[in-house]
Amino acid sequence: MKKYWLLIIALLLGAFLRLYQLGAIPGALTWDEAALGYNAFSILKTGKDEYGKLLPIIFKSFGDYKPGLYIYLTIPSIALFGLTEFAVRFPSVIFGLLAIFGVFLLVKELFKDEKKNLFLASLSALFLAIMPLHIHFSRGAWETNVFVTLLLYSIYFLIRFAREGKFLNSSILLGLLTFITYQAAKILTPVVLIFTLLIFWQGIKTNIHHHLKKPLNLIFLLLSISIVLYLFISSITGETGNRLKRLSIFGYKPGVSEQTVVTDNSNKFTLSLFHNQSQLTTRLVASRYLKHFSPKLLFYEGYAPVDRGHVPGSGVLLVFDFIWVILGLAFLVKMFPSKISIFILGLLLLSPLPGSLTLSEFSTVRSLFMVIPLAIICGCGAFYAWQKIKLIFVFSSFLTIIGYFYLSDLLFIHGNFVYTKEFQYGYKQAMKFINQYPESKVVMTDVWGQPYIFYLFYSQFNPAEYQKQNSFETGGFDVGMVSHIGDIVEFHQFGKSEVSNQYNTIFVGTIGNIDNNFDFSLPTIEKHEDVYYPDGKIMLRIIKTKNK
């Protein structure tokens, strides 16, 4: 047990950073988290999703279609803890911890001929345990976090098969599960597994003949290929292909700017040669790809279309981890062109692909797999310094400890001030008010997106009843809306006149609906309550009118 002391520390530290105040930080659910939780609750109670579909694999969510493995993983958690924020996020914590152990196993296998490879593997696990981006996605109901862990173990078992002739079916099964976990798997899983296959081809070629001699293994392989083909075809056709079409950069045709046309004097030849569609798209993809490796994103502030894509004020890694990255790259370059160094560097270069082929300028969600090769590179850097430059090892370790405490401050104290604005803060507090008056009509603003899912989640609305009256309305190419739940709950904008004239009704809106000039002393008003952000600004304003 002594030789695993550092791994145990990594797992305990990782568990603390992922479990501490899990239900309270982030201080609110996103609508995706609420949808995952309520659909798991619905499956648990009725065997059907919110739309009444029996045990689906792909779930309809706000008119979008998402792989549903996370929902099924959440069912036991909700059965144990109830329909709560903690229960919805708990499966992600488990998979985050499994990833820490998975990095240990992978590095131990890759460097099995290296002396003290347990120390190197444990260092890599420790870096993942305290990596800001991985902590962040392990603390929320993010399908991408489960996807990363499944792909990590799929790679690990494929390498074990190459070396020992075992675990190929395990690798294939885990790879298949990624496709029903997260959309990015359709790009990254085949690319990464094919890359692994090529790197370790000699061992795989040697063992595959013996493996396929067993009829069940051959049937399993053919069945797996058929499932992958089916998932690919279904993902680009019909309603389930909407998200891919809407978010893929190839569905967007960048135009030539007016300034470019003027500069080229409207010369059709130069415009078509140097500013054609392919060239413009290539530039967009390249700029997105290279942004993944910017120092700002990796070490300092992070970047995402919204701040819920990272720990506020922190990059992918801790601020001083650039030392470990530099040393780790030096360690791998020194080993070059060994299979191990090519493999680790290749994983790093392939990881940003899903985030580079989407319309968003950058997405930490789609590129989360980067944390795996980065953790290994940092582990290699620390191992190299420990072997060759003890003084740098001690000094950099001290800086890492400082960075860890800084991260804790950002995560548990400052972060929630940002999270409350980026997550859908306020609905829990509003529903606590609403639940006191079960007989009252409710009118809730829809300005923040999908309020109906928070009503279902926090009222624990009977799924069987909701399935009968689901009033989802398609709203354009991708998502839609729910305008009401039965006759008692409505979701739409409203004004002061409605508040003044409707009895026995709870109005939940913003100060845009009910401003500070409203007369709260009207005889029709029974109760007034505001929901505040932590910085004191009003998020929601709630008014209950009297019975007639």
Over residues 125-182, the pLDDT tens digits come to: 999 999 999 999 999 999 999 999 999 999 999 999 999 999 999 999 999 999 999 9
Residue 59 belongs to some domain of the structure: no
Do residues 434 and 306 share a domain? no
Burial of 265 by CB count in 10 Å (0-12 exposed, 13-18 middle, 19+ buried)? exposed
Parallel, antiparallel, or unpaired: how do β-strands 489-491 and 441-444 relate?
parallel
Examine residue 487 and state whether it is found in any structural domain, yes or no. yes
Which pLDDT band holds residue 477 (cuts at 50, 70, 90)? very low
> Residue 45: inside a domain, yes or no?
no
**Both tokens assigned to 222:** 């053919």
Q: Give the residue from 394, 420, 446 where a domain finishes.
A: 420
Structure token pair of residue 487: 């006759």
Domain match, 374 and 437 both = no
Domain that holds residue 484: 427-545
Confidence check: pLDDT of 476 > 50: no
- Whether the Cβ atoms of residue 149 and residue 99 lie closer than 8 Å to each other: yes
Mean pLDDT within 11-37 = 94
Residue 153 domain flag: yes
| Domain co-membership, 121 together with 197 | yes
Q: Answer yes or no: is 287 within a domain.
A: no
Task: Give the model's pLDDT for residue 193.
Answer: 97
Q: Which residues pair with 521 in a beta bridge?
A: none
Same domain for 389 and 478, yes or no, is: no
Q: Are 149 and 143 in contact (CB under 8 A)?
A: no
Q: Is residue 278 part of a domain?
A: no
pLDDT reading at 74 higher than 50 = yes
Question: What's the token pair of residue 546?
Answer: 């009297």
On the 0-12 / 13-18 / 19+ scale of CB atoms within 10 A, 467 is middle
| Token pair for 519 | 């007369």
Please indicate, yes or no, whether residues 303 and 387 belong to a single structural domain of this protein.
yes
Domain boundary among 392, 420, 448: 420
Q: Could you check whether the bond before residue 337 is cis, i.e. omega within 30 degrees of 0?
A: yes
**What is the sign of the dihedral through the CA atoms of 412, 414, 420 and 426?**
positive
Q: Let me know if residue 51 belongs to a domain.
A: no
CB atoms within 10 A of CB 329: 18
User: Does residue 152 sit in the same domain as residue 218?
Assistant: yes
Distance of CA 176 to the CA centre of its chain: 19
Cβ–Cβ under 8 Å, residues 423 and 26: yes
Among residues 420, 453, 488, which one ends one of the domains? Answer: 420
Helix ranges, 213-276 (H) = 215-235, 242-247, 258-263, 268-274
Q: Are residues 156 and 16 in the same domain?
A: yes
pLDDT bracket for residue 121 (50, 70, 90) = very high
Average the pLDDT over 357-383 and give the result.
89
CA torsion through residues 432, 435, 437, 442, sign: positive
The pLDDT, as a whole number, for residue 268 is: 56
The structure's pTM equals 0.92
Cβ-based burial of 375 (10 A; exposed 0-12, middle 13-18, buried ≥19): buried
- Same domain? For 367 and 242 the reply is yes
